[in-house]
Structure 1
Amino acid sequence: MTRRSDGTAGTPATVALTRAGIRFTAHPYEHDPRAAAYGLEAAQKLGIEPERVFKTLLANVDGALAVGIVPVSDQLDLKALATALGGKRAEMADPSLAERKTGYVVGGISPIGQKVALPTVLDESAILFETILVSGGRRGLDLELAPDDLLAATSGRYAPIARTR
């Protein structure tokens, strides 16, 4: 694992962004293993509004894995994700499968630098912000970058895939 000048250990996500020449800011924080909601914990510990902190969720869309990225304050609308990818039906992926396919642990799954490139959809609300935060590839590390840069790094697209809780 590489060490960055900010003292954080490099992850596949930070390595991929650096290799692609995409600007980002690493935001490490002290993760509490008792935290019930990893994304909301990140927003609170970093002092950032939850609408700007996005969680990475894996779903099975018509038999194929896909990534949905939505604000931590919202839920993933599975039907909307399926529609965005030209599918009919979606269901949440089994957490152990998500970990195997991405190379990350649940609560630290980054949309960037996954072991297998998966179709990726970012909720369109991200365009309201100059920068958003996503998991950096481990619990206790978020990465801040421009939404368009996130899509460039993941070959993703925007779509309305979030549903208010």
Structure 2
Amino acid sequence: MVSGTLSVDALLDKMAGETRALITQRNLKDPLMIGIRTGGVWLAERLHRQLELTSPLGVLDISFYRDDFTQVGMNPKVQPTQLPCATEGRDILLVDDVIMSGRTIRAALNELFDYGRPASVNLITLLDLQRRELPIQADVIGGTLALGPDQLVKLNGPDPLTLTIRQRD
């Protein structure tokens, strides 16, 4: 893969269509969409508008739930989680920018369950980098990307949303 910048608009349109289908197929009533800070929130904001969901958008900051928290130290950008309503018994649409090892999603699930037991959690992600360490799969994926061991992908935003692929320093 060559370094460069990609637009995410087409991927978001695909994700919105697949998420509509998921809501219908699973008969999700008034799902609560929650974005994982930061890139997942930017995507969730766009998807929330496209899907015209009635529940307010939630924001999850998983910094304190990461299993590498003690290794990386305190993140100076830690912000509070903002859930607009109870998660107990709710169908959740959890949005993140990239799924790679599955560890971010594990941390998000741990935090979500601290707020209550949802009826279901459906994972939506822009990119799947297919390097799992944990058995976690997304329900809706914008696309897959095979990166070399010396490459990184980053979602830039919030407006416009672009993906940057570059060589690791």
TM-score, normalization: structure 1? 0.29
